[in-house]
Structure 1
Amino acid sequence: MSDRVAGAAVMEQVVRLHDAAPPRSPLARALGVTPLDDAAQPWFAGAVGERRVGELLAALPAGWRVFHALPVGAGEADVDHLIVGPGGVFVVNTKHHRGQRVWVGERALLVAGQKTTHLRNSDLEASRVRGVLARAGVVAPVSAVVALVGVRELTVRQQPRRVAVVRAEGLVRWLTRRPAVLDAGTVDAVVRLVDDPATWRPLESDEDTAERFARIEREVRAAHLVRLGWCLAAALGVLAVSLPFLPH
């Protein structure tokens, strides 16, 4: 399971939705209309967020192991990131809320004033991992973490009792500051269990998913640049029309 890349499960969903959607018309391409439909856009943002957290977690020092996109439970549920180290086992749920204000209290996490299910879902994922360890007879503390990507403002009135909420940029520092609670032998036992595909729900992965997602990502960026070009052209047009009327 250590070969699973960050965001693998969400990227698969983006590719699936993108392939099912009708292709853009030549006019839509010329105007810079995004290649993502409404259903795919939140999944795309989620994939970008998980990949960003994956990049950040690569900076963890020796003695820590990181796993991504672990298929846990039934349906299509997965653990975004599972981290094992001296500080324990951490189940990290990534949430990408670019440019939003986030407020955190003991029992609630609000994004732009709207209550979310982030705390409940993160606690549930940690409970599932605790069950995986318990069934294998491995004793190790499991903590739930929400890692926020791209938020403009984070106000923590009170940290929830069962879930830690941190900015993604500070996640590695937060993890390495946890007090040591696991010895090397226990860390190795957890890593062996997590790395075993038999521990998790069987996967039907497409080896081309990462490359197909990269192509979609390039299309999204190209469309964004086209829109910027149109906006710049419009601004220059307005300026050109206005120049004769401006005072000299």
Structure 2
Amino acid sequence: MNTHSSQSASLKRGASPCREGKPVEYRSINLGHSGGAAVPQDVHGRIVAQSSIEKLLAGQKKVDPWPLVGRILGVDPWRPSSQSRYREAVGQVAVGRLLEQLSHEWTVLHSVPIGAGSSDDVDHVVIGPGGVYTVRTRSYIGQAVCVSGQTMWATCEATWVAGQPVIVSSEEQKHIGIARCEASKVALQLATDVSGQVPVTGIIVIVHAKSVTIQEGPSDVVVLTDRQLLGWLNARPRILAPQQLQQVSEVAVEPRTWPDAPVKTSDPAHIGDAFSALQRAVDTSRSRQVGWLIGLVAGMPLLWAIASRLL
């Protein structure tokens, strides 16, 4: 069985350069079967957002049990530091459900480890007739997102000049560089000695944003909203023949391809159940918050009348 090529070996195992968005060379994969160290985990069996959920649940273990008063008042069942991780997981789950709608020709892997101990992972790896794609999901609830060239901003403001958007203020994000790096690392992991190259393209999917303004898209990373994702993927021209597609898919689902996958991990079914229970608790909390707000507004006239009489 062939081992990974020297291209893969040139990147040190255990390094996680994608968190800093550092570029990695080589953007193509070779068709064929992959080698590497055996890892006793079925990557194909990982659930959507598994790494994010594992980290979220680990943080929740440090939170005191949800008190009765908190449940009645609708207090969120988490510590404030867990909110962003929860939103991240919810966004990945939403995109994962979209990807389930792709035809049988497509292979979708979730939470694919590309760094030591799963400290660095790709939200989704998608393989289909149009090639191989890494999908990075970013949740920007109620925020405006702007993209210009190699830079993406959140909480941005854009004004229109001569029919073109001009970004005037924003908070810069590093996700374009990270998405580029993730695509490169997946290409390295899939690379073998068999000839025949297939491009690996990084995609950023923006969910729950108030608006998305693209002044100029990056040249090597695709930025889409969740509503655009399926249409864009299905519109890609076929570049993989059926036999090639099968080869690439077999390499991708082979555990040996991902030597950074953890040897031991929690049961995916248990993780999914725990996250569903947390989602139900959050939904209950939000419903009670709304209920208390409606009750307060409806009761204001009565409270005002009582206060007037007492005064």
TM-score category, normalised to shorter length: over 0.9
CA 1:108–1:232: 2 relative to 1, 3 Å: same
**Match for residue 276 of structure 2 among 214, 219, 236:** 214
- Displacement of 1:21 after TM fit? 1.7
Q: What residue number does 1:145 align with?
A: 203
Identity fraction in percent: 28
What is the TM-score of this pair, normalised by structure 1? 0.93
Structure 1 residues without counterparts, runs of 5 or longer: none
| Alignment-derived partner of residue 140 in structure 2 | 97
1:186 to 233, 236, 244: 244
Per the normalisation by structure 2, the TM-score is: 0.75
Look up the SS of the partner of 1:188 in the other structure. helix
Which runs of 5 or more structure 2 residues have no equivalent in the other structure?
1-42, 156-169
| Aligned length in residues | 245
In the alignment, the residues of structure 1 paired with residue 290 and residue 100 of structure 2 have an alpha-carbon distance, to the nearest angstrom, of: 33
8 Å Cα contact 2:190-2:257 kept in structure 1: no
Aligned to 1:81: 124
Query: Residues 13 and 136 of structure 1: is their aligned pair in 2 closer, same or farther, counting only changes over 3 Å?
Result: farther
Q: For residues 131 and 43 of structure 1, what CA distance do their matches in structure 2 show? A: 28
CA shift digits 1:24-63 (9 cap, x unpaired): 3332222111011122111111111011001111111231
TM-superposed CA distance for 1:202, in Å, is 2.9
Deviates more, 1:198-207 or 1:97-106: 198-207
Across the aligned residues of Structure 1 and Structure 2, the Cα RMSD in angstroms comes to 1.7
Deviation at 1:22, TM superposition (A): 1.9
What is the CA deviation profile of residues 96-149 of structure 1, one whole-angstrom value per residue up to 9, with x for unaligned ones?
Answer: 111111101101111102111110111110010111122464631100000011
Return the structure number with greater relative CO, CA threshold 8 A, min gap 6. Answer: 2
- Matches of 1:153 and 1:187 in 2, distance apart? 36
CA positional deviation for 1:243: 6.8
Q: CA deviation at 1:199?
A: 1.4
Of structures 1 and 2, the larger Rg is shown by 2
| TM-fit CA distance, 1:178 | 1.4
Residue 108 of structure 1, aligned match among 133, 138, 151? 151
| 1:228 aligned residue | 290
Q: How does 1:14-33 map to 2 (within 5 A)?
A: 14-33=56-75
Aligned to 1:173: 231
Matched AA of 1:77: D
Stretch of structure 1 that moved more, 192-201 or 118-127: 192-201
Tell whether 2:265 aligns with 1:205. Answer: yes
**Deviation at residue 224 of structure 1 after TM alignment:** 0.9
Query: Match for residue 166 of structure 2?
Result: none
